[in-house]
Amino acid sequence: MERRLFLGALSATAKAADICGCALAPQAATAASEPFATVGSKIRITKLKVFGVSLTPTSDRPYVFVKLETNQPGLYGWGEGTLEGKAAAVMACVEDFKEFLIGADPMQVEHHWQAMYVHSFYRAGPVIGSAISGIDQALWDIRGKALGLPVYKLLGGPVDPRGVRGYYHLRARTKEDLPRLREEARRQGITCFKSGIPGYYEWIETNAKISRAVRSIADLREGLGDDIDIGIDFHAKTSPAVASILVKELEPLKLLFVEEPCPPENVKAMQRIARRSTTPIATGERLVAAYNCRELIEMGVVDIIQTDINHVGGITALWKAGALAEASGVAMAPHACEGPIGGLATVHVDAAMPNFLVQEICSGVEIGPQEKVWHEWLGFPAMRMVNGRFPLSDRPGLGFDLTEEALRKYPFGGTRPMARVYHDDHSVAAW
């Protein structure tokens, strides 16, 4: 009798699960593509590959590159999902998405984005977001190549035929370096730099420390002159109280923007800071999907959104974030501090956004070791500006080619933790 009751209870539980939808059987990617057979293309994804690439064995931000191959000879796409400090997790997540893609039509970019995001059930954080980003970029690369057009033309661009305005990071060790950098910027046509706020900050800071920070940024303005725009990245190192003081003190310097004056998830605090200053507020590099930008935009918290194509969800999500921002009079200045594939993909989206402001690249005026590797891989100086702008390629897709052999010289060194910094009392400091 007890056994019959037990089995009856199991049966009732199973039926309840069916009613609530908890027991739905997963569908294969090939089956999901069948309803589109008459309206889609004949191209099919046959293989997904993910590569971890460490330029140095101890790098805390190895590149994560994704390659999608198809049943059409020579037709494949590259994307990037680099996530600082979590490379192995992203690589594993990319592998998890194989079932969504193998056998599917790569031209259905939006359909695949929705499937990966929605069918993951738990809404994407940075790991899932970065995995989707790498896959999405590769899908767009295939789409452009199949149609014989660069991605920015598929998106309706270019808005500006001169290319995409950009900025380098300011790398000056002393005040005396600034006049030299200013002259080099003028020679190269560079109109903008970004620098950071010096030091680390407690919840409430001393007058001396705040004054030093203001003087440091004032020195940049004096050294670079009024004809070069300056963005200052607070990197969420400041509390709302400290940030409110600083943004007010910095108003006379007429900065292009102040970035991440507090963590972006603290929307109400950022709103309080924004109300206390006329300096434009920028944020967004840590946000995933266009949905996470909505509250910042609706509440009038920010002037500039900086979502990163390698984390936000790829070209599809960056484009949507830009459209959401444009409808509310908010500008776009995407973050890009990882590898060359994501950087080049971002330029395509920038070129088609009417509310685009300026594009970051975590490089300096002078070519560094990473840029030399990028040139070695791609055969051209990727993400280097010409007359202050990133040039637009007429090549289809994302406009480059890359071989797996080129990456083997830089094997994956494993995931490394990002920097860990502490205050004088050894409490954890934000950086």
Contact 60, 419 (CB under 8 A): yes
Q: How far apart are CA 82 and CA 415, in angstroms?
A: 11
For residue 114, the number of C-alpha atoms closer than 13 Å in the C-beta half-sphere is 5
DSSP string over 108-123: -HHHHHHHHHHTT-SP
The 8-class DSSP code of residue 251 comes to G
Q: How far apart are CA 307 and CA 318, in angstroms?
A: 7
For residue 310, the number of C-alpha atoms closer than 13 Å in the C-beta half-sphere is 27
Burial (Cβ within 10 Å: 0-12, 13-18, ≥19) of residue 167: buried
Q: How far apart are CA 421 and CA 398, in angstroms?
A: 37
> 311, 335, 375, 426: which one is catalytic?
335
> 111, 169, 235, 375: which one is catalytic?
235
According to DSSP H, which parts of 109-239 are helical?
109-118, 126-147, 151-154, 177-188, 207-224
**Amino acid in position 411:** P
Does residue 112 carry a catalytic annotation? Answer: no
Question: Residue 52: phi, psi to the nearest 5?
Answer: -95, 130
What's the token pair of residue 383?
């993400």
What's the token pair of residue 425?
């009392």
The closest alpha carbon to 150, from 295, 358, 352, belongs to 352
- Scan for tokens 């896959």, then name that residue: 135
Does residue 235 carry a catalytic annotation? Answer: yes
- Annotated catalytic residues are 235, 335
